[in-house]
Amino acid sequence: MLNHETSAGPTIEDTLLFCRSLRERGLAVTPSESVDAIRALSLLDCNDRREVFLSLRSILTSRLEDFPIFEELFDAFWGRPGEVPQPRKLVESSTPSLNESRSHLSPSTYTPKGLPYLLENWKPAESLDSESIDLPGASNAASSAKKDFGLLAPNELEEIVRVARRIARRVAASPSRRWKPVRRGSRIHIRRTIRQSLKTGGEMIELSFKRRKQNKTRLVVICDVSGSMDLFSRLLLQFVYGLQNTFARVETFVFSTALERITGYLKDATYTRALAGLSANVRGWSGGTLIGRCITAFNSEWARLTDRRTIVIILSDGWDTGEPEELAASLATLKKRSGRLIWLNPLLASPTYQPLTRGMQVALPYIDVFAPAHDFASLRALERHLVL
């Protein structure tokens, strides 16, 4: 507890609970800010109440209107000087805690690049046996909430679009691996030249040429926007927006417990307008996760979008509450119809990550490329996989 009579600073558990309470009161405190708060407290003199108050306020508030709420909760959590802090109870979650099943993720997975790992995925050093923190996890419950896209800095959003557009231009300009005969060129078509020489008794009088075909790869992006992907989905949709508005052959879908095509919404002239359309018309953000059911729906309703020149990209952490048999069958069908199946998992960048979730274990045999999607470098690395 934070007071003037002890040198002990607030625990990670206290700080997490404080941040969660701020979120419940309407402050835009993401897991990234929560990590920053924990790090700041490790560097501050926790005996200096004013220093702690001002430091946390600068991290955890974004508007003047947030100040009164922050001060009220700060006093409630760590008390005024001379007060004896009252014991607090964490609200019991109505869903089973995922802390134990996700304990292999550590705080070291945080990155300052604007794509922080989910804070709820790591377990505080102190035991939480008697209490649990109610944070997003895998669920099969649908959500009708409208998505709030206003938590990211504009410079971060603009950089993601720039990265996506560079990749899209290179993919569009890159030649196919296949060749076609041409009348003039720099590369001799040996087989065609030899066949033509048979007309002249084996004399190679005329040379045939070839060049690479134009790349006609189509991209189909299926993005998980369930609760466990809450932070990443905003950033990844920004990336997909940049791709789709530079590279014409892109189809985009989102899913949680149901699949929805959003290609039309992402064709707006500005990302702000695209987000407004998504927020107003697309339901299911931050809901549960039924990956198998949604991939099955794609195979049933949108199979015409895939062929051997199609690269399918699934953006998901693999937390699935559906039946593993349905997920396996749907991915087997999708892989058979497409040219390449790529699965981007934001959690994969953690050196301690292992695909232990049921969904990922079922999916791995059908995936051609399994890669991270947690920062700008990982998104740039995707380029080499986008040419068939």
Q: What is the pLDDT of residues 278-294, one digit of tens each?
A: 877 877 777 788 999 99
Other C-beta atoms lying within 10 Å of the C-beta of residue 116: 22
pLDDT at 189 over 60: yes
- Model-level pTM greater than 0.85? no
Q: Is 269 exposed, middle or buried (0-12, 13-18, 19+ CB in 10 A)?
A: exposed
Separation in Å, CA 10 to CA 47, 52, 92: 11, 10, 21
* d(C-alpha 94, C-alpha 82), whole Å: 36
Per-residue pLDDT tens over the stretch 342-360: 999 988 877 888 888 888 9
pLDDT digit string (tens) for 74-93? 888 876 555 444 434 333 33
Report which of 286, 152, 146 is spatially closest to residue 230, judged by C-alpha positions: 286
In a 3-state reduction of DSSP, which class is residue 63? coil
Q: Where are the domains of the chain?
A: 12-121, 154-171+216-385, 178-213
Q: Which helix (H) or strand (E) holds 330?
A: helix 324-337
d(CA 38, CA 124): 11
Distances in Å between the Cα of 343 and the Cα atoms of 18, 104, 120 are 35, 21, 23
Q: Which CATH number fits domain 154-171+216-385: 3.40.50.410, 3.40.50.2300, 3.50.50.60, 3.40.50.1700?
A: 3.40.50.410
pLDDT of residue 173: 67
In this prediction, residue 157 carries a pLDDT of 65
